[in-house]
Amino acid sequence: MIRKADSNITVPVAIILVAFLWFITFYLTVGVFWTKIALSTVILAAFALWAAPDIRHRVTCNARALVWGVLSAGALYGLFWIGRTVSLLLFPFAGDQIWSVYDKASGYNPCIILCVLLFITGPCEEIFWRGFLQDNLMKRYGKNAGWISATIVYAGVHIWSLNFMLVGAAAVAGAFWGALYRRTETLTPVIISHALWSAVIFTLAPMN
């Protein structure tokens, strides 16, 4: 029988850990952003799998999960396109802040960035955020409160970017993927959705 670590300890530790890693990744200017985000998400996924080994049983490959993942990625892309359009009309600073997010990819091979997003950050983030953190919070506080709490933490740690648009984007994306996980209670759709969406919006069809 697989034994899970005590969530009363691992959940607070996980929140402190991700806040620290996001501080290094987004706030500190030393190092390459893409290297830092890749390493940070791998560390988080490793922590999640150690604390909750049963996560691997929530990754199931089937046609339904694939369809959910692909369609939800497209829906989120459309939602962001609408959000970008409205934000540019409402906020004078929106354009510069959106550009600053994309500027992190300036000078780097887009194929490498695509691979990082598709195969590392997307899957690893979902293993940690939805597979570990949100799952534990839903079990402790109920599905709705757990989903909302996880979304708040997801958006909150992005405050280190000092970018209002990025924090808002994280809140929307976190709520979206959290709702998808809440409904399906399986990780495959959210992993596919996150990986495809981030690869498309940052490299294949950016919105800068």
| Long-range CB pairs of 184-188, under 8 A, 24+ apart, other chains included | 184/65, 184/68, 185/58, 186/58, 186/59, 186/60, 186/65, 187/55, 187/58, 187/59, 187/126, 187/127, 187/130, 187/131, 188/58, 188/59, 188/60, 188/61, 188/62, 188/65, 188/66, 188/69
The mean pLDDT value of the chain amounts to 95
State if pTM tops 0.85. yes
Distance linking the first and last C-alpha atoms of the chain = 49
Dump pLDDT digits (tens) for 89-107. Answer: 999 999 999 999 999 888 8
The span from the CA of 5 to the CA of 49, in Å, is 10
Q: Which residues of 165-186 are buried (b: 16+ CB within 10 A; e: fewer)?
A: bbbbbbbbbbbbbbebbbebeb
pLDDT tens-digit series, residues 165-193 = 999 999 999 999 999 999 998 999 999 99
134 token code pair? 């949100």
